[in-house]
Chain A
Amino acid sequence: MTQFHQVVAAPYAPPRMVAAAVELRAALRAVGAQSDIAVLEGDVEIDGVVALDALDRPSAAPRGADVLVLHLSDVTPEIAEFALGRPERLVVIHHGTPVWEPYLAFDPQRAGRFAATPVHVPVLAERAAVTITSVPRNAQILRDAGFRNVFSTPMRLDLDAFESVDAHEPTMHHFASAVTGPVVLYAGPVDPHNRLERLVEAYHLLVTSIDPTAALVIAGQTSTARYRERLSRQINELNLTGAWLADATDAGQLAAFYRSAAVFASPGEPADLPSSMLSAMQLGVPVVALGTDIVRDAVGDAALLLPVERDPALLAEALAAVLADAALRARLIAAGRERVAPFDAERAATEWFRIVLEAGA
């Protein structure tokens, strides 16, 4: 019987990558397939993870008899060498490579990995029987690099999750009692490609020149501790007492942030499907974002999209407009809800599972 194992080949695997691998393993095991997850490099925490050599069959199976699903964000010579040496049929799940320049000051090694990825990607293209990405833009990049059978289908996102979670009571109380103005929210990875220093700059302009009562919440986990520390220092040195840099690993606290937010702001360049923007839309929070290709594909004209350039004054003005103009707010909220309405989490999960299963047929 065909075995379907997975390897997470990203030392800083984002939580969504791990969740996707765990969910796929559960689905494969549910149909009786032997399916395990191993980690190629780094200290990635996954329940039930096995060692790489545990994926090898005790007796040699014919080449291509089994399926290996490789989750990755970037491609290094080591990843390419690993993929080329495996006997299984290869399914690549590409979670998007972040732009490398913003990482240079905080994690030069990772900047190097991201910058060199376009050089190493074509090597994988020869081995990948099937490739899955969440966004059309990444699918096009992979096709251009020589990948065949590229599917662009969204990952499973539970957009209803924050509606069913009880909001963290102390956080809600804080917003009700200590925050008098509107809350600008960013939720998501606190990593350099999300350019949160630009949101801090825009917030500085917003509170010093437009609305001194506005509050800012930046909530999320980081894989670049140095970046988060520098962001905190930027907030302190600009004396932004209304800004809150929160770890937000707790779903209840995230729910409290979303429910208290007047506008969601994303000044960065997401490498994959911007799930937190879609969550904001689901919860009726208007979105202002940088209009990169990936963001445009994901949210269409349901968000106020800004030109892809560094312009904190324009971002501050856009936030002020959404906060002050009731008609604009209403239009963005309605368009956001309409945008996410057709999103079917179960169908998305089934689609990835179906593609992987067919790769083994």
Chain B
Amino acid sequence: MVNLVINNAKVSVEENTSILQAAKQYNMDIPTLCYYEDLNIKSDCRVCVIEVQGKKGLVSACSTPVAEGMVVYTNSPRVLNARKTIVELILSNHDTNCTTCVKNMKCELQTLARNLGIDENRFPSVFERCDIDENNPAIVRNPNLCIKCGRCVDVCKNVQGTNVLATMGRGHTMQVAPVFNEDLNEDFCTFCGQCASVCPVGAITEKDNTDQVWNAIMDSEKHVIVQVAPAVRVSLGEEIDQVVGNIVTGKIVSAMRLLGFDRVFDTDFTADLTIIEEGNELIHRVTTGGVLPMMTSCCPGWISYAETRYPDILDHLSSCKSPQQMFGALAKSYYAEKMNLDPKHVFVVSIMPCTAKKYEAQREEMSVNGVDPDVDVVLTTRELGKMIKQMGINFNGLEEQDFDNPFGITSGAGAIFGATGGVMEAAIRTVYEVVNKKPLENLDFKDLRGLEGIKEAEVDLGGTMVKVAVAHTLANAKVLCDQIRDGKSPYAFIEIMTCPGGCIGGGGQPYGTTNKVRQERINSTYRVDANMKIRKSHENPQVTALYEDYLEKPLGKKSHHLLHTHYHDRKRK
């Protein structure tokens, strides 16, 4: 242990603890801006500078380890003046129209300025307006708000390994922008939105589509239906009252009805359907000598990554559409027929934890009639929170209601799609029983759960032990992809999710997602599963009914048309 003094308090912490963490352990929060839990220490913003006795300059608390006998002042006049000056400087090169900013009241810079008591800026604004990059369906990049903290670059480079965002130029005209100063585009950006998730200000956000939804709801010609992804129910509560890990499924359904949606459905249903199709595809590949390992295809960020970085392994991807798109396809065919509606009048909204889903919904293949998108609008969890606030709904006071049918009955297998390892676990629950023709005794695959980057398990399929793997984040996906490329992959089935922790850590989830928060959301996800009456996709009676009624059989002709898709080589030539 190392003993030191922080603001006259005697403190004892473990070796290599930063001054920032040491102070935090003793209930003293040093303000930060570029610092983000779980990311690299950048020490760029200099907001956390503090005074160490005997040192001439000020040091950053985030990057300086404690030392025996150190005497630290985190709030001396010199420190306070420096900290204030630094924030004033940031504000002098920032679009400070805070009330009309998308991050108003959620902005870390705004909070910091308020906490430091900055009531005037000594420095005149040198801010020069530049163009907003909004030429893609998912992410808006507003350089006018960027404070160059480097979090997004860190996430893009080190967590995802995608290297789309970088710092450009130098001095006070330095910019954080896509490499070679291009717009963010589908050529190289996967639209995972992790950059938006960590941005302390409003410089990178999801594209706001709430107006389109309001307009559709108010359009009497349109039958507006909504689907809610599994990961949303364990995180929306944070958007409302900042409590992490609450399961708010029933309240979401109530809120949706108040918002004016005609029907409220559960994406968990098409997650179950995905398992039936994907599970059968796996069995088919294994039994007919098809391309293995098969890789999951429900994550659009991963699909973009594979298409742009690993076009040579696209035949490993399951041809199954994602649950969102299976839902959209069924909504505009089966559902419209069943409800006697002109599919043109069915307007499909998705609530997703994800920004890449906005891109996925606009892909050409994702259209049953070849003209209109199957999913009309995708909203993130945050955008749903916004609509609930716009409407003035007292969310916590709502009663819990059930989803509508025919996409309302779901299984625990569908529910765990939101967590890393969940799709794999759901698939094994079904594939095991189909192949071995006996019930699976233990449904919980603990080896596949949690925040470990790459996880493995072995499953007995018809007497053969088969290896499966799960990866989250694209940097981890790369490891498994390279193995395949080199012909060294030992696996039969691989699950990939782009975002850390899976969809529960998606780019469209409430701000402040850290590993602690991810773990809470994961815990809630498995609680949802454990409390379900049905926990295996193939035991979902509505799924069975759907096949009997309409689809006929897994991997059949109709399934092929509605539920499966194909991929393109999008590598830059």
Q: Do A and B bind each other?
A: no
